[in-house]
Structure 1
Amino acid sequence: MRANVTARRAAGTPIGAVGAPAGSADGAAVVLDAERANLAALLAALGDGMLERLAGAVASARTVAVVGFRNGYPVALHLRTQLAQARPGVRLAPQPGQSLAEDLVGLGAGDLVVVCAFRRRPPGLRAALAAVVESGASLVVVGDPSARSILPPDAGDALVGFVPCPVAAPGAFDSYAAAMTFVALLASAVLGADLRAGRGRVSAIDRAYRALGETE
């Protein structure tokens, strides 16, 4: 029974894990330790120039499509929102009510697709990654460590990088603190890749916000 519960939790099923912390100070300390470990693993994965390589690919791409399904969708949505502050030509795919295939048609050399692939992924995502590579576009995959298993084996240089963002948590649900930290780090690095252009775009967006009364 214990092994079955642990295996299901490791696959992303939101059930109480064995030894899950209660809502207490001691339980909060366990959660904090887990988050520190997840963030440390993320930062290690972004070392050796990986973050700079990813930021350069995003900054120089003709267009950027950010893809996310299920648990990956909130991460993809936030990433698209942040990258759109730093550069033009960033879109979320697929659009509501549309299929991903419609967004993949027309991709080619010079385009970049960032796929947020966290566990409990739809089965068609593996084929989607292969389709991106076949199109000639570049690919970045962001997901929990298990997403490494769906990377196209023949991606070659088309795969700019795989970013493992651990989501393991001592409670019943996965934690996306590492994933959202990666979003902030990547968006900041993209903005810094061409700081003058990035600041100009941020200022233009801010003026538009004020003109339309969309933010306080």
Structure 2
Amino acid sequence: MSLILYELRGADAARPFSPYAWRVRMALKHKGLDFETRPKPFTQIAAIAPEVGKTVPILVDGERTICDSWAIATYLEETYADRPTLFGGPGGLAAAKLVESWANASISARIVRMIVKDICDLLAPEDQAYFRPIREERFGMSLEEVQAGREERLADLATALLPMHLMLKSQPFIGGDSPLQSDYMLFGTFQWARITSAFELLEPGSPVAEWRERCLDLFDGYARAIPAA
């Protein structure tokens, strides 16, 4: 039986955009596992498996149901240890946890302010009514105000990405010569932005932009097949 991945979608079910679900999608492809996706809108997520969690991604593997992208990745590594490794050993696992924290706290936190209104525009009306007030309360202003002036904030994002920019001058992936879960965690953030917004975050030809292109080409262009905004 295939694994089942519950993830987030907007009005168009063919464009799943959760950055955390994309981390899991890429992990499943890396492991060579067959899986089925079941995209759900914001207003239906809490009812998927409330006993486990109220956010996506949620992975169902037979009798096991796991919530949270990190928990899913470590579950896949332990359960399918005979498949290609996601972390490359204990040291890689520890390093990936650092990348996850950096991606969430530094990179995603900057990017969301550049695309949050674009995300809302992709949602069905009932999900917009759910999404907008929560985010506007969180930011303390309208979504339009949050996203305004985003061009001026690109330099700040580039500064936050500088360590990766420098590293990628000497290796093609965060994982080294080939990608690991540390790559998929940051790639999920950029795939989220690619699907939800036409606003370009990266300077074309930069090491990080070229890394993103390499990630899009992985698994016969699996991630690239999802239409960009």
Q: What TM-score do the two structures reach when normalised by structure 1? A: 0.27
Q: Which structure has the larger Rg over C-alpha atoms?
A: 1
